[in-house]
Amino acid sequence: MTLNIKLTAAESGTGVNFNTYLTAQFKGFTPYQMPFFLEQTGSTETTQILHLDTPVTGDEADTRVVLLEGDDFLYTFSNHTVSGTIDTIRLGTLGNAWDASASDLALTNGLVTNMASVVTISGLNITNAAGVAGDVHEIVAGMMGGGPSGTDADADPILDAIWSEAHNVTGTAWNDTYLGTRFGDTVRGGGGADTLNGRAGADVLLGGAGKDRLIGGNGADRIEGGAGADSLTGGAGSDRFVFKTGAEVAGDRITDFSVAQNDIIDLSAIDANEDAAGNQAFRWIGSGAFTGVAGQLRYQVTASDTRILLDTDGDSTADFSMVLTGKPAIQADDFIL
């Protein structure tokens, strides 16, 4: 199973540091009263459970919120258990003033819709049967802490649920930071100068627009910097560095290209000859000079780096180039042309 994670910037120009945000959201979270069971669909069952931190005096809009969304939430009085299915977890703040009826957050049907979400995690499918102290119960009970007694919430059950599956992350238009799981994650940075680290697993890292820093970590990763002058690091494993346009090549640096690890540079989506119809493949000419033929690909070793040069119009001048840190002994086999 893969969890879908959407990051939402609180304000323009500010992205989300996912890992730091999770820590900050739960640190010292002191539950305000008992959880609110919202949108009653039957005599007892509800679809939302709202956990509130103690409201911030004078600025209730900044009060932290953990909202559990799903189906058939049920509190069984006889043994004090909570059951049902958690599909989505929303983390953020009230974004409004607060009153005890939660009316500032809710529409007339009782559904919380107006909280200032920062992280939305969906696809969880956490469930347990009525009257059973299973996973749903453990998450709710942990967030309750000691109820209104002032005891901090125990976020371990909810964090375990977040980190026990691979992530499919969609970033904001700003500068996001993400440190991945031990599984194969897919991370789309979006706009901004993002820092994305897949860690373990065969990850897919997509920088998007902006000057990004992408780090694959362990595993056979697929790394696409996108637009902007990006820093790309594969880490251990056979990594694929993918460029879909010449503009995506321009200004990028691969910091650890390894022939020994079977890393590869994929240029197959780029039309090597802009004057010919269709998508033409590049032709590797090694370290030799361009000869005035469109579609040539060569390398040039400098004092400390290796430059990869692409001529797409046949004028014997590189139209696009990237840098490989160091002097890897690259050959045609290190490319998909």
Same domain membership, residue 112 and residue 142? yes
Q: Say which CATH number the domain at 130 has.
A: 3.30.1500.10
Same domain membership, residue 8 and residue 148? yes
CB burial readout 254-264, b (16+ within 10 A) else e: bebbbeeeebb
Same domain membership, residue 89 and residue 128? yes
The last residue of a domain, from among 163, 185, 215: 163
The last residue of a domain, from among 163, 180, 205: 163
> Which pLDDT belongs to residue 107?
47
What distance in Å separates the CA atoms of residue 291 and residue 311, rounded to the nearest whole number?
A: 10
How is 203-249 classified by DSSP, letter by letter?
Answer: -EEE--SSS-EEE--SS--EEE--SS--EEE--SS--EEE--SHHHH
The last residue of a domain, from among 163, 197, 217: 163
> Which pLDDT belongs to residue 104?
55
Decide: pTM greater than 0.95. no
pLDDT (tens, 9 = 90+) of the chain, 337 residues, equals 899 999 998 666 789 999 999 999 999 999 988 888 887 555 557 899 999 998 877 777 889 999 999 989 998 889 999 999 999 999 999 887 666 555 555 544 566 777 889 999 999 999 999 999 999 999 999 999 854 455 889 999 999 999 999 999 999 999 999 999 999 999 999 999 999 999 999 999 999 999 999 999 999 999 999 999 999 999 999 999 999 999 999 999 999 999 999 999 999 999 999 889 999 999 999 999 999 999 999 999 999 999 999 999 999 999 999 999 999 999 999 999 9
Same domain membership, residue 290 and residue 213? yes
Same domain membership, residue 83 and residue 190? no
Q: Which domain holds residue 103?
A: 2-163
* Among 117, 240, 120, residue whose Cα is nearest residue 170: 120
Pair 216, 223: CB distance under 8 Å: yes
Same domain membership, residue 239 and residue 289? yes
Tokens 């238009």 belong to 173
Same domain membership, residue 155 and residue 45? yes
DSSP 50: E
Same domain membership, residue 176 and residue 102? no
Q: Which token pair is 258?
A: 């390894």
Terminal-residue alpha carbon distance, the chain: 34
Same domain membership, residue 142 and residue 182? no
Domain count, the chain: 2
* Among 169, 203, 161, residue whose Cα is nearest residue 185: 203
Same domain membership, residue 328 and residue 243? yes
DSSP 334: G
> Which pLDDT belongs to residue 147?
47
Same domain membership, residue 182 and residue 312? yes
* Among 275, 273, 268, 229, residue whose Cα is nearest residue 248: 229
How is 55-120 classified by DSSP, letter by letter?
Answer: PPTT-GGG-EEEEEEEEEEEEETTTTEEEEEEEEEEEEE--S---TT-TTTB-TTS-B--SEEEEE
> Which pLDDT belongs to residue 207?
97
Q: Which token pair is 271?
A: 């039309």
Q: Which token pair is 118?
A: 């920062």
Same domain membership, residue 326 and residue 307? yes
